[in-house]
Every structure is written in C-alpha cells, then in structure tokens.
Structure 1
C-alpha cells in the first residue's frame, strides 16, 4: 500500500472509529487506530531501556512547534520531531511514547514498552510520555485530538500497559517548563485521572 493510501486509510479509520465530527460524542473508543512507526517512515529505534509495566503515570506535554491538522502534515511533523530529537539532542529515538495530531490520530513514538526521553531521569522510567503536536499556550487542541488522547489512555488500560489507577500529570507538574501550554494544561486538569 502506498504512503498516501495508508494515510488516507488511517484518517478514515480515525473518523469512523472515533466518531470524529459526531456532535455530542464524548466517549472514546477502546484502542482506536494508532499510526505505527512504519507508516510515518520512522527509522529503526536504537533504544533499549524498557518500561516497567503497567505504568502508573502519564505525562502530557506539547511539542511547542507547528500544529498539524491532516495526516500528511502530521506525518511530516512527527518526522520533524524525530529528526530534532535524534539529530540535535542525540537521543536514541523520538522522545515521546506517543504523539497526538490535530488530525485526531495517535502516532506511535517509542510505544508502550520502551522508556521515553520526555521528562527527565526521575519520570522517564516510570511514565508514558504523550505529546500533542503544536503549541497550546494560547489555544486548545481540537476536540478530536483530545478524544484521541483519551482513547489511547483507555487502550493502555485495556491492554494492561497502564495501571487502571494511573495518574495523569502535566509536564509542568514534574519539571520546570511551560509545557503542555496554558490552554492544554487547563483541559487535562479536568480529566478524571489527573493529579498534580
């Protein structure tokens, strides 16, 4: 399957699987489609450190870069984040376990099992790092991106990757940073698993 066809397939699965654009729908599906690394042309990971699962914590951040609102733009943006993390920061892979696009899709970073590089030495080994692609100081992510993140968390619990009693933290709760941005931070504080 060609890359454009694969992206279109993922977009359609997200639209129909998540019910994106359906007014009044608040409940995320369990285990919505996750765009795998091969679909965004990620090189093989050089990371070897594993997470102890099920993870107890989820740290939510933002990339503070450009947003993306279509599968083609998000594919490009996740590649940019990967290139920055591996080329400039010399990390073994993209730092996050998962990235969320404004297209309503979840992009696999290091995945559930591999320790990320998103929040420092204390939190990386004990948490899943989820980053929304964009800057959310002045604006909020669209509802479909928020639903995708919540669906991912439900999926993590369903698959035994996240503890049913997991805690969501904002990046700024565990490090000195403006991430995940004022607007996104305000939103995640309303999530049922949020703990400062």
Structure 2
C-alpha cells in the first residue's frame, strides 16, 4: 500500500521567484490547541531554536513526523496548550506552521508574547544545518517582515540568550551570530 501525502501549503513569491513553502497546520496534521492567546504584530524579536530531539529530517514525511512528535511532547509532557514554536523548519526546505505569526508561543520565557520562535528541526550542537534549511529560515523571517508580522528593526537571538539552555546548539548559535539583526544583548 502506498502512502499518499496531502499537504496544504502556502507558496510565497519573494523577489519574483518561488522561494518559500509554508506547510500549514492542517497540512502536517496538527492537533487542535487547548487554547490560544493572540499576539500583536509586528513583534520586535525572532528567537532561534533547535529541536535536538527529534533529530534532523530530510523528507517531508519525516519532517511532518518531527512536528507531530514535538507537538505531542509539548502538549502531553509539558502540559502546554500547543507546540511551543511559531514555526518549525525542516531539512526538506519547508517551513511548518506551529502557533503561527499572531499567537503567543511557549518557546522563550519573557519573550513568548513579543517574538516569533523558529525551530530548526535537528540537533545543531556540532553540525550546521543544511543550506536549504538555513535559507528557508532567512526567507521565513523576510516574509514575516514583508507581511508586517516582524518589525523591520527586529532583534535576532538564540534561545540560550534568554534562558539557561544549550539551544540552539553550539554550531548553529555560532552561525546566527553572523546574521543580520543578531544582537548579543537582547
């Protein structure tokens, strides 16, 4: 029996070319949140995370499984209302809608109501995510700025800068320090 994968996606045109594929909650089979809290846009922060576990995914079906795993853990183990992140980004080059642009997350204490939390699926302690995954993160942030969901003067931080954690991994944290808008002191 062959698996049929149906994804509901938004393809965003940036600069005249197809650049960003966002798979909505229905597309990855997200559970209904227990409740939501609206978040005003544009937000002044973007917080970068890694999943550590589940590990890196390179196919859409594996990335969907990772999103479901994270949501189940966050809701069933942590007791949260939903997956904590605003978006997940997989090694398949897709962005996956978590709580989205305008819902308060559960990813960075003190910043949940004023940031977009982006989780790069995988453990990035020692290795750098693949180029397509990094490119998708850049495109997602730019799309958020273009849509007035993220302030054009946003500050980009790693999760470890706002709470005691190793997230987003040593190698990824070193990388994001070179990104536009990175701030050493949030």
- TM-score w.r.t. the length of structure 2 is 0.90
Q: Which secondary structure does the structure 1 equivalent of 2:4 belong to?
A: helix
Alignment: residue pair count: 180
Cα distance between partner residues in 2 of 1:184 and 1:30: 26
1:69 aligned residue: 58
Matches within 5 A, 1:91-130: 91-120=80-109, 122-130=110-118
Matches within 5 A, 1:16-95: 32-65=20-53, 66-95=55-84
Cα distance between partner residues in 1 of 2:142 and 2:167: 23
Closer/same/farther in 2, CA of residues 156 and 100 from structure 1, 3 Å limit: same
- Residues 40 and 75 in structure 1, CA contact (< 8 A), matched pair in contact too: yes
Q: Encode CA deviations 1:35-54: one digit per residue, 9 max, x unaligned.
A: 00001111222232111210
- TM-score w.r.t. the length of structure 1 is 0.85
2:6 aligned residue: 6
Instruction: Name the structure with the higher strand share.
Output: 2
Cα distance between partner residues in 1 of 2:76 and 2:57: 21
- Residue 186 (1) aligns with residue 171 (2): no
Matches within 5 A, 1:148-159: 148-159=136-147
Instruction: Name the structure with the higher helix share.
Output: 1
- Residues 31 and 155 in structure 1, CA contact (< 8 A), matched pair in contact too: no
- Residues 30 and 155 in structure 1, CA contact (< 8 A), matched pair in contact too: no
Q: How big is the alpha-carbon RMSD for the aligned residues of Structure 1 and Structure 2?
A: 2.2
Cα distance between partner residues in 1 of 2:153 and 2:22: 23
- Residues 5 and 61 in structure 2, CA contact (< 8 A), matched pair in contact too: no
The gaps in structure 1 that reach 5 residues or longer are 19-26
The gaps in structure 2 that reach 5 residues or longer are none
Cα distance between partner residues in 1 of 2:116 and 2:122: 19
Q: Which secondary structure does the structure 1 equivalent of 2:118 belong to?
A: strand
